Amino acid sequence: MISTLDYEPQGDRDSEASTFSASLHRGGAWFLTRLLASVAFLSITAIPDVFVHAQAQLDPTILGKPPVDAWPTYHGDYSGRHYSPLNQINQSNVKNLALSWTYRANTNTQGAISGGAIPEAVAYRLGPGALAGGLLKATPLAVNGVLYMSAPDHAWAIDAYSGREIWHFFWRTKGGDHIGNRGLGMYGNWLYLETPDGYVVSLDAATGKERWHKQIVDVRSEYFTTVAPVVIRNHVILGMGGDALDVPGWLESRDPDTGEVQWKWYTTPRPGEPGADTWPDTYAMEHGGGMPWTPVTYDPELNLIYVPTGNPNPVYRGDARKGSNLYTASIVALNADTGKMAWYFQSSPHDTHDWDATQVPVLFDAPFNGQPRKLLVQASRNGIFFVLDRVTGQNLLSVPYIESANWFKGFDDKGQPIPNPDKEASLGGALVSPNNGGGQNWTPPTFDPETGLIYLNASQGYEIHYKWDVDGATFGSAGHAARAVGGISTSLRAIDYRTGKAKWTHTYPGTEWNPPRPELLGGLLSTAGRLVFAGAPGNYIVAYDPATGRQLWHAGFTAPMSNTAITYMLNGRQQLVVAAGDTLYAFALQP
């Protein structure tokens, strides 16, 4: 079923949600004030002492369960499904969702709790705490009536009942790439934040005060650190990014009490290790990138971490690193206690288009070809949908999920794509799809176990890749240029994990000539209320029927939806919280 997205109110959707959407798009600060006043009872009745709630610790047993009364880790739980078993908000009443409160990110460093042992003479700032592009990309944590939110150099605790700020932490940065921050990790009453200049900082969740900080990478080597830490028992799992210089990449585990390194796993092999023969020489191998710059997923029963790794370096010049370049652009299973590799699957062998395989490895148990399986699925940036057995890494399905993907010649006996050399950058240019943004990117999809469908925003477009000779060594992106030359569309797709084919598709009007990168629409959330929440062009969040794609509710903002919506129960009422631009919005059903 193919349909286009229509935002005009229809039938009973002509409600407060529609009024709210239109008013925000008129820049209605006055209206928003009046609206907040009119729904103030939602946030002022039975508000507990926020500092009492802030003292409460995270119960670690909830991390491995579907999120109900909390959203305690980046994906809600360890599976990466971004699915909630809550159904108080459902198809019959979603039209009654109304705004409860808003919180605009406070980046004023006056009065903020300041951290970091960095001398002021050395430190430099990108303004008073740069908020990347004015966007809150992080997925907030919701624990015991408090929301914990982050942005580059900043962390906040916010009262989930009223939207009032409890505390604000500011990191005195050395600089680094302020491209964004994906969120916090939590262990007991402690929070963990990665900073743009390569540190991990531990905070007291009750007060926001720093406990300790440790360096992960040296910012002078042009690494950047944006990952939301994932806490697995007594392990804080951290990663990093960086393409500008050809540097090593790794995933590491740190002690939550002391911050000391427990183990490191390098994303490329060392000399003599398995996979070393997929690189031309030791230097290329040890400086080959593969940065793990998005949060991992985890199977507690198998005790395996599933690591999606980034592109190899130099980014586009495959002639400088002949071979498949393991373990870049791969999904790798590691033992959570030792960091030892159990298996790998390479999503893009010898990647030459900057297609990180850092999209979420989604975990669930379901039948496949008539057999019960522990599955892992990934809609990779390169336009291919993969289904793996997560116990062994065996490939069960490889199929394009966008029609325009043209960079590969087929699949090998492992189910891995076979790159077409004619699609590598050349002097005359090579026409390639997907474009640099990919068919998918880092923002999470969602899996609904009731429908058996994976929901994601996908983009189709073309790009011409050029290369030329450069003096000296080839590194980073040197000797390469790319130009987008045409778009097809961006669409919301509901993909059957058994086939990799879309059951239904919503193509967004106006995206034909300039399809937005999928991550610019935010991530997705599905619930047992038979709802899928997704961002859409025009600064909207929309609720869909997961079986048909029918639109059931929408709200508009003054900026694009910029993170992944979360949902949880608070005092017996289901909440929906989402960020757009520099503001958090909380919704609940009208009484």
Model confidence pLDDT, tens digit, residues 315-342: 998 988 999 999 999 999 999 999 999 9
Q: Please tell me the predicted confidence (pLDDT) of residue 14.
A: 31
Greater confidence (468 vs 191) lies with: 191
Question: Which element (helix H / strand E) includes 22?
Answer: helix 16-25
Mean pLDDT of the chain: 88
What tokens does 464 get?
Answer: 């011409």
For residue 493, how many C-alpha atoms fall within 13 Å in the half-sphere facing its CB?
24
Using CA atoms, how far apart are residues 266 and 394, in angstroms rounded to an integer? 22
Q: Residue 307 pLDDT more than 60?
A: yes
Domain containing 195 — which CATH number? 2.140.10.10
Greater confidence (15 vs 72) lies with: 72
Q: Please tell me the predicted confidence (pLDDT) of residue 118.
A: 54
Q: Residue 34 pLDDT more than 50?
A: no
Q: Is 354 a catalytic residue?
A: yes
Q: Please tell me the predicted confidence (pLDDT) of residue 585.
A: 98
Residue from 153, 246, 354, 448 carrying the catalytic annotation = 354
Using CA atoms, how far apart are residues 384 and 359, in angstroms rounded to an integer? 11
For residues 11-29, average pLDDT: 34
Name the phi and psi angles at 35, rounded to 5: -65, -45
Distances (CA, A) of 588 to 88, 99, 328, 577: 10, 7, 43, 9
Distances (CA, A) of 241 to 42, 181, 434, 441, 563: 41, 12, 22, 14, 19
For residues 114-141, average pLDDT: 64
Q: Residue 3 pLDDT more than 50?
A: no
Q: Are 586 and 89 contacting, i.e. CB atoms less than 8 angstroms apart?
A: no
For residues 40-62, average pLDDT: 55
Q: Residue 269 pLDDT more than 70?
A: yes
Using CA atoms, how far apart are residues 329 and 310, in angstroms rounded to an integer? 5
| pLDDT tens column, 544-590 | 999 999 999 999 999 999 999 999 999 999 999 999 999 999 999 98
Q: Please tell me the predicted confidence (pLDDT) of residue 56.
A: 56
| pLDDT tens column, 492-548 | 999 999 999 999 999 998 888 777 888 889 999 999 999 999 999 999 999 999 999
Torsion of CA 114, 204, 76, 265, to 10 degrees: 80
The structural domain count of the chain equals: 1
Greater confidence (89 vs 110) lies with: 89
For residues 337-364, average pLDDT: 97
In degrees, rounded to 5, the angle at the alpha carbon of residue 296 between the alpha carbons of residues 293 and 302 is 155
Greater confidence (34 vs 334) lies with: 334
Using CA atoms, how far apart are residues 84 and 94, in angstroms rounded to an integer? 15
Using CA atoms, how far apart are residues 557 and 23, in angstroms rounded to an integer? 9
Question: Which element (helix H / strand E) includes 440?
Answer: none
Please name the residues in contact with 541: beta carbons below 8 A apart, sequence gap of 6 or more. Answer: 522, 533, 534, 535, 554, 555, 557, 561, 565, 578, 580
For residues 128-145, average pLDDT: 80
Q: Which of 269, 267, 292, 290 is nearest to 279 (CA)?
A: 269
- pTM listed for this prediction: 0.90
For residues 167-194, average pLDDT: 94
Q: Please tell me the predicted confidence (pLDDT) of residue 540.
A: 95
Instruction: Round to the nearest angstrom and report the end-to-end CA distance of the chain.
Output: 36
Q: Please tell me the predicted confidence (pLDDT) of residue 134.
A: 67
Using CA atoms, how far apart are residues 465 and 426, in angstroms rounded to an integer? 7
Q: Residue 477 pLDDT more than 80?
A: no
Q: Please tell me the predicted confidence (pLDDT) of residue 244.
A: 78
* 490 three-class SS: strand
Domain span at 251: 2-589
The model's confidence at residue 131, banded by pLDDT at 50, 70 and 90, is low
Q: Are 7 and 540 contacting, i.e. CB atoms less than 8 angstroms apart?
A: yes
Q: Residue 199 pLDDT more than 70?
A: yes
The model's confidence at residue 121, banded by pLDDT at 50, 70 and 90, is very low
Q: Please tell me the predicted confidence (pLDDT) of residue 468.
A: 86
For residues 30-34, average pLDDT: 36
